[in-house]
Amino acid sequence: MATSTAGISLWWDTLDVEVAPRASLGGDVDVDVAIVGGGFTGLWTARSLLEADPTLRVLVIEREVCGFGASGRNGGWASALFAAHDARMARESGVDAARAMRSAMNASVDEIARAARTDGIDCDLAKGGTIVLARSPAQASRAAEEVAEARSLGFGPEDLRWLDAAEATELVGATSITGATFTPHCAAIHPAKLAVGLAGAVAARGATIVEGTAATAIIPGGHGARPRVATDHGTVTADVVVRATEAWSSQLPGSERAVIPVYSLMIATEPLPADVLEAIGLSERQTFSDHRHLIIYGQRTADGRIAFGGRGAPYHFGSKIDPAFDRDTAVFSALRATLVELFPVLADALITHTWGGPLGIPRDWYSSVGLDRSTGMAWAGGYVGDGVTTTNLAGRTLADLITGVDTDLTRLPWVGHRSKDWEPEPLRWIGVNTGLAAAHWSDASEHRHGRPSKVAGMLERFLGG
């Protein structure tokens, strides 16, 4: 029986419909494409495959319910953010490749909106863009570098621009604003509405979705044998198996060190009165953040709340994933304090929801997608928390790779990228949590001294930036 969705996140608790779990796998089956994971990656892949070839036999295998993982718990940013920096892609793959990757991500924001319209999915989508505040000289310096990097790749102010303090304050009523960067390439969404709607649309297109079915192993093909997925309800044999398990990849035999599960936690306020919302701004439902090292993110929801999240929870030894880690009172308290520091008008606002979950981080912080035809194994993931839009691009790219179509998508620099494995324990526990502490320390140092932190620069180089 699939897990109840009650209390998973604000998003699951504010769905307009009751979600009934689908049936589990009924025994051994044979299909054309088996997709392990019913989150955004798996669902976009299934949708794209069936859009390309409606005759394909596509099976989506989900341990819980579709959207149970990060897809139904994230901050609701359908943004053009990609895990690897543009400058790094330009350095490693060339300026043209980096520009193509950025353009593909920008276009994917609109592709999500197009697909939602086509399939009749109301996911509270509002393309208001993203404002990232500079609230110290060090943050302003990083913002200027980001704009300069965009210009070096040929992207103008229509893609990313600097706002002075007055311009930024017109959009958002936060404290200590010295300026901001703004990009139009982001839409605020209700992620659970998108996940549930997308699962329904995929099923309507002819895919079979089984829930409450745990994949226990993925066995590559080769030497005449086709790849298989072993589950607790039978074995699935396919021409292609897609691993779309993101943070949960770390729990599968053979990919234990491919990514590490790092927790990101969120809080949400009650629906706010009109005067409070007016003071906060974000009238076009712009998503917001600032240029600190320890990531924070927020949005003004369609029902007038502020949903706000950030990193800060520790990495757990051995890449352990446990529902107990979804909630950390110290992190929730820190998030509330940060939110009130940004918006003092929220000092008395009731926090109605707290939640969290793991996201997948590869060793070099570089997302990837690919297909190994010799084994029939395909994969996508390592989104580092920027997966809402990247999953859409991944799904469309996987569909082209699987159906054998040579397109602009299949030539993007992340296609076929292979990240090296994370170090064995206890090295990765020490390294990841030291990095977390370094980010905390760097933000505190910059707040005190106003200068960019040298420690943060070393951390970025360590992480492959």
Best CA proximity match to 264, nearest among 241, 247, 287: 247
Residue 457 or 152, more confident: 152
**3-state secondary structure (DSSP) of residue 268:** strand
Average pLDDT over residues 326-352: 97
The answer, yes or no, to whether residue 133 has pLDDT greater than 90, is: yes
Residue 369 or 455, more confident: 369
**Token pair listed for 145:** 């570098």
The answer, yes or no, to whether residue 1 has pLDDT greater than 50, is: no
Render pLDDT for 222-268 as a digit per residue (tens, 0 to 9).
Answer: 999 999 999 999 999 999 999 999 999 999 999 999 999 999 999 99
- Residue 308 makes CB contacts below 8 A (sequence gap 6+) with 266, 267, 268, 296, 297, 298, 335, 338, 339
Average pLDDT over residues 386-390: 97
Query: Dihedrals φ, ψ of 15, to 5°?
Result: -65, 150
The answer, yes or no, to whether residue 461 has pLDDT greater than 90, is: no
pLDDT of residue 308: 98
C-alpha span between 5 and 383 (Å, rounded): 24
Q: Quote the distance between the C-alpha of residue 332 and its chain's center.
A: 20
Best CA proximity match to 61, nearest among 256, 252, 230, 201: 230
pLDDT of residue 448: 64
Residue 152 or 444, more confident: 152
pLDDT of residue 337: 97
Render pLDDT for 283-301 as a digit per residue (tens, 0 to 9).
Answer: 999 999 999 988 999 999 9
Q: Which domains does the chain have, with CATH numbers?
A: 10-74+192-259+365-411 (3.50.50.60), 130-183+264-355 (3.30.9.10)
pLDDT of residue 4: 73
